[in-house]
Structure 1
């Protein structure tokens, strides 16, 4: 997975609202910290080589936002709408994305680390070379997605997560935690799980009772 091409120490500290002053709604080579940008509306904005730390974007609508080579640390995207957004070489560390809508988005070389994504809508997406690490994806929907390259889930909470109409071939869930996930028998061939998870899935799909 490729990392963002960004040198944080060289970035001037600016305001997120500078993006509205640009005719093309572009924000490039900025460092933004400790700002409140809740309930914003931005259509087809472009953000490149920028660093965000402790910025609140709650309940904002960023339709078709394009993000490249950018890093977000401790930011809050709760209940944001980011439908059909494009993320290329981006990182989200210890962020809050509770109830976020990312339907139709494209993830290419994206890292989500320690991020709360409960109740997230992650549907009809194209996901390539992306890692979810130590994320809370409980009750989220990951349906009708096309996965390419290495799509990884490491040490994530995925209880009650739904994976309908998404091929999970080569996806490894063995380090994740769940009591039940919604999957389709025809689409889990080649998926990797541990023994306990295999018993849980067999019970859900086939009605088998496994004794230990």
Structure 2
């Protein structure tokens, strides 16, 4: 068996995952399976570790377009596509789990949508509808590129809620900067939506802003938890 530094493919991570299961592998070892081979002077696990260090971890890596992966030595189109596919599978798995758990707290909302929203390099807004048990029934993207009072107008937000005859809805949008603190525009959008939902007699559960974890702050902001939205 070749030495680790001489390994030309991901045999060692594959052997480890076979013997001990995927949970036994480090992030770099899991990525090595998708990368398959290293470069001169760096084995595949070291290359994976270099990527994690350069971009700051899995969450940042998952935000990258295919072209950015290819800006790294030894990663061509095939490897870049494998990485993109791996992160997308993780995102889709999160979406499937939403079907089984009620979205009855901002913590759960963040947990279920953070990977999908946290990987976006631009602002985006989602309308999530739920049934009487607060189980997820649909997700509609209403804005991509920027979230402002024009793109997030109450009529655009309420349209999928009304057409699906939903019991209630949640508005979610992300701050690519990572700081979920609401802007003045975020407050105005929420107030306008509260008034429109009241007139239409539609239950507005929450407006959650997605950020990223950082010391001294939560990775999300909930307008319900702040007291702006109440039943």
- TM-score (normalizing by structure 2): 0.29
Q: Which has the larger radius of gyration?
A: 2
- TM-score (normalizing by structure 1): 0.31
Bigger share in strand: 1
Bigger share in helix: 2
